[in-house]
Structures are given as C-alpha cells and as structure tokens.
Amino acid sequence: MPKVRHPLLALCLASALVSSGLTSVTPAPVVEAAPAAPWTTPTVPPRCTDAQKNLGDVAGCIIHNGPGLPETRGWPMPPFPEATPGAVIPWVDLAKGASGPIVEKVQLALNEHGATLVADGQFGTLTENAVKAFQTANALPSTGIVNQATADLLGVENRAAGAFPGPGWNWLGWGYNGSTALYQWEQLFVRNTQPVGAVRVGGVAAFADALPLFEGFMREVQANGYVITGGSGGYVFRCTASTRKDCAGLTRSSLSNHAYGLAIDFNTTANPMRTYYGINGATACQTPMQTDMPQWVIQTAEKWGLYWGGYGWSSGCSSPSQVKSSASRDPMHFEFNGTVDQARAILAFNTLGGIGACFDVADANGTITERCYRRNELPGANTRVVVDTDAPTGATAALVNITTTAANSGAFITAEGCGVVPNARGWSNGNTRTGRAVASTAVVALDAQGRFCLYQSSSMHTIVDVQGYFAPSSVSSGNLYTPVTPQRATDTRTRPFCTPAGACLPTGPVVAETEIVIQSSAPVDAVATVANLTVNAPADRGYLTADTCSSLVPGPQSRSNLNFAFGDTVANLGVVPSTSTDQGVQFCTFASTRTQQIVDVQGYFAPAVQGGLGYTALTPDRVVDTRQCWTDPITSEERCQQINQGGSIVRAPAPAGASAVVVNLTAISASAGGYVTAASCDTLVPGPQSQSNLNAVVGASVANLAIVPVAADGTYCVFVSATMHIAIDIVGTFSSAGTQRYLPITPVRVHDSRPPPLT
C-alpha cells in the first residue's frame, strides 16, 4: 500500500522542523508595524547561533555560514561560462597568493584526487596543503608549489584565453538567462504560483526550498504597509555587480547569489547600490545611505532568514561607529546565505500549522527529497513527483490513471524515470484544461523500487491511481492481451442499460451514483477489459469509475477513471477488472453525476494459457506531429506544418513484428468539436466512425491512450472528424514475441498532491 504521512503531526517533532521542505507560503500573521523613517545608518544584529538556525527561529540575528559558494551549503552547483580553450602556453608555477581561473582548475583537479577545496580561484593555505598532500602521494617534492610536473599529473594545462563566452552561452547584456548551457540548471527553479502583493505570478524564481522565504518576506512587509513598485528582480545568471557581470576572466567564486535564485532586488530606484565615503573626516559608516526601507522591513527579512545588502559588502559596516574609509551598500538587495535544511527549518518555524500534503520530488539532477506544500499552494512548474506504485517484485511497468486538476494554464504531464533530465521532453502523457480535472491513462516504466516520476510543465495538482502492472513471464505467468474489432458495448443515449440488480431502462441519462453493467464481449474468462469510456452531457462536474461490479460499492469511490465538467463530452481509456458470469464477462461503471455513458470495447486480458499477445515497453517517442514534418509510411509523401482536414486519415508506422501499438494520441488546435478514431489501416475506412478514442475540444489539447491493432503492412491509422493537428507518441507494443504479462489489481490511489480534508 502507498505510504501515508501525517505532515502536521510530523512537523510538531523537532527533527521535522529541519526536513519539512515546504515550497510556498500564504500570508504570515500580520504584526502591526507602523511606517517609520528609512533606516539610513543601520547597526547589524548579531550572528545567529547554530541552535537558532537549526530551529528556524532567526528573528533578530543574521545567518552567516562562513566563506564558500552556495553549493557548499547543500544547494546545487551551476555551470559556469568559460572561454573556449586557447592555445597551450608555457606553464607558470603557481604558489600561495596566486589567483584566477587556472587556480580554480587546479583546485577542481585536486578535489578529483580526494581534496575538499572550495574552487574559488584563490591559492591560500588550504590549497597549498592540498598540493603538498598530492605531491607526497605521487612521490614529488612536497613544495606546495604547482610546477609543470605537478600540473601534468593533475591534468591541468595553461592555455591562452579563447573566445568568450563559450558555446551555449548567450549574454543578454544583463544576464545569461535562457542560454542552452543553462537548460538543466534552470529546470531546478520554481516560480511563485500566486501573486505576492504587487509581485505578479511567476515574478520570482528560486530553488523550491528558498522561494517560500522570499514569498513570505515580501508578502508580510506589503501586508504591513511597505509598498513594492515595479515587481522584483530575482534569478539572473551573472557574476556580482562589483565584478564583471558577464564573468569574463573570473571564476565561479564571483557568481552572484542571483545566479542561484537565492537573492531578490526590489524598489531599485529608491534603493540604489552605491559606495559611500566619509564626510568631513567621519567614518563612511556614518554617511546616510539612500533608502526608503524602515528598520521593521529589515527585521522582517531577518525573520525569514534573509541578509540585507544595506548592511554592506566587503565586511560591511557593523554599526555607524565602525571606522571605514568607504562602504558599499546595496539596500535593494536581500539574499539567503543559509543551508537547505536551515531554509526548511525557518519556513516550518514561521508557518507551522498551514501544511497540506507532503511527498517526494526529484530535481533535474535526479536528487530525491521530501517536500511539503501549504494547503492553498500548488506544486509549481517543473515539479517531478516521485510516485511509488507499491509494485510487486519484478514488475517493470505500471498501468496508471493520472489526473490533473487546478491547472491555471494549458500544460502537459510526462511520466518518466527519476534520474537526470538529459534534455527537453519529446513526448507527453496528458494535457491540462484550465479550471477542469483531466484524467489520462498511461503505461509507465518503473525503476527497481517500483517508482516513476511525474513531470508537470505548469502549476497543478496531480493524482495517480494504479490499475495494474506488467512483469516478465519469468516472474509471473500473468495475462496476455487479445485485441477485438472495436465495438460499442453501451450507448445510453440510444440503447437500454441495466443495473447489477437487474433494473433496466430503455435509454439514459444514467442517474447519479447508479451502477450499470457493461458486457465485455470477451469469448474467454477475461480478467480485464480494454475499453474506451466516454461520458456525454453530464448534469454537473464529477467523475466516473469502472471496476468489477462487486468492487463498486454504493457511495463515493476512492479512485476514478475520468473526470468531467457540466455538459462535457470526454473520454479516457480503461483497463477494467472484469469477472465471468452466466451472461459472459462483465464490469460495471459508476458516475457521481447524472450523465450519458458510451463504452467502446477494444480488447481484453486473459490468462496466458488462453493465448494472446505479450507487452514490450519502448522508450517513449513522438512518431508523428502534424505541426512539424511527417512522412506517410506507405506513399513516402512528406507533409510539413499542414493541419489535417476533417475526414482525413493519418497513417503511422509500427515497429517490426508488432500486432498492436500502445500510443498516446493528442488532438491539438481543433477548429470544431469532433472526435479521433485509431484503428488498423485494414479496417479504418473514410467517413463517420462507429467508435472513437478521444473527443477534441476547441482551444484545448486533448490526449488519450489507445491500444491500436496494426495492419498487415505494418501501419495503423488515425481518423479525425474535424480539422485539427494530431500528435502520436508510441510507448509500447503487443506481439507474440512480447515477454511482459499483465497483472490486474483492484485500482488503488498511490499519490494525491491535494491537501487532506480538515478535520
């Protein structure tokens, strides 16, 4: 069974204050703070103790964790723009006191040989000691000086500067944002999914553990009367403003915290970054800075763990009495200098009591951590939920129903592995509709722990119900698939239907919360029926669940197969547990709202001894997208960016030996409501079809899984009843050579990102 967590109870434990990992926040309790005069000559509060930082109670102190880049505090390490390699030039010995990119290369090379240096390009005592240790280990004189022999063993060359920046880096004049070299890095960030006062949705990008600190701070100061104008500046991939922002000739030690999404700026005109000098012989720390921020705003920032740039850089001014000839102050700037665990502890301390759901997520590097969300917050764009399917030993894939809800834009989901994200996703498993719940069936590959990851391209909630598994024949005899000529088993708009108790009506709609019986038409004792389930003209929003008649107990169901809104026509593929009766193989459906129901049976799974086809998983691949170029596999005719007219047929090739393909079909840019039918090209003829796989919607992308028989010439066909584009993603095949067997289960919900009901 899936793991069940009680986040509120867990967070009451001291250890959980460090591991709660919320991702965004609602307004903190408003503490009255009357506007005050700008704090132009501030005094820095004391540093937070380890106990304060670990507890998260950091009001009235500042977080300082010593030197080192954010990656030394548990945050990911970014790429860094470098020049293309130039010509090799004579080596120049490096000793203590040297600095620059070549020193950074030496430090990185020493780390590969067991050192633990911060690669900051500064040759200090720690680097010197690491050099000596390396020299001793390699029978070189232990001088601490990197000479030619030492450099050769480290694999470090001295090269002249090449072209800057290197390939994949695009300098925009203010940052490298959007460069191809930053694709994986920028996948690690999330953005605010709700306005933060004057800050628009998506206006702040940061790591998921840091974003709520900035959100909480900005929301609280605005609630207390401070006005933020013109939004805010957050993630910008650049070096610090006091160096060359494009990082030319610098090392990663010069990267700004903005490049990590660990800093924000706002109200820049009223709070410029400037260097101040002493007046009439007084210390520069007594020179008032230009700022509109009162002391209570800064104290609020410190409550959220943020350091204020108004205190100054290069050690800053601890108080107006400190003697300095100049002081660089940056009052527009707030940054987080703590660890990942400290960020989580601060958030838990400031927001305890508002937590919704907790579950594991994976970042773009494949690192898995538990994260908790507040009750009114959505998991954001680029979230990769780790879904534990509780699979039996040996299972390699799962049949799941994925539901998306609360999406505020058109987006997609992709079921994938949980490892490193190599590049942009080239296929999808479903599409969202604004303001609606949308269900999509998928066959997903599992790792050795029975898990997969669910990626979402925008903010939304996700729900996953497991319907069954696939495992090799060496693990289980299991069940094989047999396709049938698609046939309409039920259409309550025109045909009679009956309940399990035997009460029958000539036509629908079916009354809310009423079970009706569906005949599978399987000629053998099938354990599951493959059927396309469609609802039409429902009286209200709701859901439909399909299962064995004995499992559909009266009342609300704990899982579902599809979701709908008032007046919808919507379909989803179901692999429905079925039972054999005197009337043949049957299953039942249950709808929460009065609606018409249409069921098209496409095949069935039965024990292997009764024959059938085995499953073979493929790496998901988009084989046709008529928005791009595609080639008819029979005529070899290429078409590019041409929309498919209503009544047309798109033909696609199947892998060699396949008797049926498992494909995700997506209808895009439909000019009118219509339907899509997929079938063997041998049986699909032009003109209106007697069954369908999905229903197109104007202004939305609609997807559905289909198991499509393959014609003798190795093709399958897709018919569109209205003008639209079609995308076809293949995920697997059924054939006589397939080794995977299907293992049905009573459907069970294993993931739900929505907060549990309040009790």
In the listed set 466, 496, 525, which residue is the last one of a domain according to the structure? 466
Give the CATH number for residue 499. 2.60.120
Residue 749 lies in a domain: no
Phi and psi torsions of 85, nearest 5°: -60, 130
* Radius of gyration over every alpha carbon of the chain, rounded to an integer in angstroms: 31
Give the CATH number for residue 122. 1.10.101.10
Residues 308 and 445 in one domain: no
Q: Among residues 585, 593, 523, which one has the least CA distance to residue 562?
A: 593
Q: In whole angstroms, what is the distance from residue 309 CA to residue 332 CA?
A: 7
Q: What's the structural domain count of the chain?
A: 5
Query: Terminal CA-to-CA distance of the chain, rounded, Å?
Result: 23
Q: In whole angstroms, what is the distance from residue 16 CA to residue 264 CA?
A: 28
Q: Among residues 585, 589, 608, which one has the least CA distance to residue 599?
A: 589
Interhelix angle 211-223/340-351, rounded to 10 degrees, is: 40
Residues 328 and 391 in one domain: no
Q: Among residues 435, 459, 601, which one has the least CA distance to residue 532?
A: 601
Give 230's DSSP letter.
S
Q: Among residues 309, 75, 59, 312, which one has the least CA distance to residue 211?
A: 75
Residues 151 and 285 in one domain: no
In the listed set 139, 161, 183, which residue is the last one of a domain according to the structure? 161
Q: What residue type is assigned to position 506 of the chain? A: P
Residue 398 lies in a domain: yes
Residues 337 and 371 in one domain: no
Residue 166 lies in a domain: no
For residue 304, what are the domain limits? 7-73+171-348
Q: Which residues contact 503 (CB under 8 A, 6 or more apart)?
A: none
Residues 324 and 397 in one domain: no
Q: What residue type is assigned to position 11 of the chain? A: L
Residues 371 and 410 in one domain: yes
Residues 460 and 404 in one domain: yes
Can you tell me which residue has the tokens 């954010």? 70
State the pLDDT at residue 266.
Answer: 93
Q: Which residues contact 31 (CB under 8 A, 6 or more apart)?
A: 220, 224
Task: Report if pTM > 0.85.
Answer: no
Residue 528 lies in a domain: yes
State the pLDDT at residue 177.
Answer: 96
Q: Where are the alpha helices (DSSP H) in 182-266?
A: 183-186, 211-223
Can you tell me which residue has the tokens 């400290």? 342
Q: Among residues 44, 50, 20, 48, which one has the least CA distance to residue 350?
A: 20
635 in Cβ contact with 756 (< 8 Å): no
State the pLDDT at residue 231.
Answer: 63
Residue 235 lies in a domain: yes
In the listed set 553, 581, 613, which residue is the last one of a domain according to the structure? 613
Q: In whole angstroms, what is the distance from residue 531 CA to residue 122 CA?
A: 66
State the pLDDT at residue 11.
Answer: 34
Residue 554 lies in a domain: yes
Residue 98 lies in a domain: yes
Can you tell me which residue has the tokens 């796989």? 693
Residue 486 lies in a domain: yes
Residues 234 and 329 in one domain: yes
Residues 667 and 705 in one domain: yes
Residues 497 and 420 in one domain: no
Cis peptide before 509, with omega less than 30 degrees from 0?
yes
The pairing of beta strand 660-668 with beta strand 725-735: antiparallel
Residues 311 and 192 in one domain: yes
Q: Which residues of the chain have pLDDT under 70?
A: 1-35, 230-231, 352-355, 758-759
The pairing of beta strand 614-625 with beta strand 542-547: unpaired
Q: What residue type is assigned to position 745 of the chain? A: I
Here the tokens at position 608 are: 């292997």
* Residue 308: strand, helix, or coil: strand
pLDDT tens, position by position, 620-647: 999 999 999 999 998 999 999 999 999 9
Phi and psi torsions of 493, nearest 5°: -70, -30
Here the tokens at position 193 are: 């999914």
Q: What residue type is assigned to position 516 of the chain? A: I
What are the DSSP E strand ranges found in 613-681? Answer: 614-625, 629-631, 638-640, 649-653, 660-668, 674-680
Give 42's DSSP letter.
-
Percent of the chain with pLDDT over 70: 94
Residues 147 and 221 in one domain: no
State the pLDDT at residue 314.
Answer: 75
Q: In whole angstroms, what is the distance from residue 343 CA to residue 335 CA?
A: 12
State the pLDDT at residue 80.
Answer: 95
